[in-house]
Chains A and B, each alone.
Chain A
Amino acid sequence: MENPKLYHPLILKHNKHPFHFFKDEHAQFVIQASNPICGDRFTLFLSLQDQVISQASFHGYGCAVSKAATSMLVERMYQKSIPKILQMTQEYLKMFESGNQIHDRELEIFKVAREFPGRTQCARLSWQKLSEEFQAWTQD
Chain B
Amino acid sequence: MPDLPLTGEFNALAFRRHFPLLHGNDLIYLDSAATKQKPAEVIEAVEKFYSTYNANVHRGIYKLADEATDAYENSRDTVRAFINARSSREIIFTRGSTESINLVAQSYVAARLQNGTNIVISEMEHHSNLIPWQQLAKKSGAELRVIPINDNGDLILEEGLGLIDKRTTIIALVHTSNSLGTINPINVFIEKARKSKSTILIDAAQAMAHQSIDVQALDCDFLVFSAHKMFGPTGVGVLYGKQELLEEMPPYQYGGEMIESVSLESSTFRLPPHRFEAGTPNIAGVIGLASSIHFLDTWKPDKLGSHSKILAEIAVELLQSIGVRLIGTPVRRAGIVSFLLDDIHPHDVATLLDQEGIAVRAGHHCTEPVMRYYEIPGTLRLSFSAYNTREEVEQVAKALPRIRKILG
Contacts and interface: CB of A to CB of B under 8 A. Distances in A.
B contacts with A: majority SS: helix
A5 B355 contact: yes
A37 interface: yes
Interface stretch (A22-30, A44-52, A62-70): A62-70
Contacts of B352: 1, 4, 7
A119 B377 contact: no
B363 interface: yes
A39 B363 contact: yes
Contacts of B402: 1
Interface in B337-375: 344-345, 347-348, 351-352, 354-356, 362-364, 371
A39 B364 contact: yes
B351 A1 contact: no
Given A38-B377, A64-B407, A122 B347 contact: yes
Interface string B395-408: 00001001100110
B345 A12 contact: no
B378 interface: yes
A38 B356 CA distance: 22
Contact of A37 (B348, B351, B363, B407): B363
Interface in A42-90: 61-65
Contacts of A122: 347
A12 B352 CA distance: 13
B277 to A, nearest CB: 33
Nearest to B345: A63
Contact of A1 (B347, B355, B362, B378): B355
Given A39-B363, A64-B407, A116 B371 contact: no
B366 to A, nearest CB: 11
B378 A38 contact: yes
A95 interface: no
B345, B355, B377: most-surrounded residue (chain A CB, <10 A): B345
B363 A12 contact: no
B399 A1 contact: yes
B406 A4 contact: yes
Nearest to A7: B406
A93 interface: no
A109 interface: no
A37 B351 CA distance: 16
B377 A12 contact: no
A37, A39, A65: most-surrounded residue (chain B CB, <10 A): A39
B377 A1 contact: no
A33 interface: no
A63 B348 contact: yes
A84 to B, nearest CB: 31
Contacts of B371: 39
A138 B344 CA distance: 37
A6 to B, nearest CB: 6
Nearest to B371: A39
A116 B407 contact: no
Contacts of A41: 377
Contacts of B348: 7, 63-65
A91 interface: no
Contacts of A64: 344-345, 348, 407
Contacts of A7: 348, 352, 406-407
A61 B345 CA distance: 9
B378 to A, nearest CB: 5
A86 to B, nearest CB: 28
A109 to B, nearest CB: 15
Given A39-B364, A39-B371, A1 B406 contact: yes
A61 B351 contact: no
Given A63-B345, A64-B407, 16 more contacts: A1-B402, A4-B352, A7-B348, A7-B407, A15-B407, A38-B347, A38-B363, A38-B377, A39-B371, A39-B378, A41-B377, A61-B345, A63-B347, A64-B345, A116-B351, A117-B354
12 contacts: A6-B351, A7-B407, A15-B407, A37-B363, A41-B377, A61-B345, A61-B377, A63-B345, A63-B348, A64-B407, A117-B354, A118-B347
Interface of A: 1, 4-7, 12, 15, 37-41, 61-65, 116-119, 122
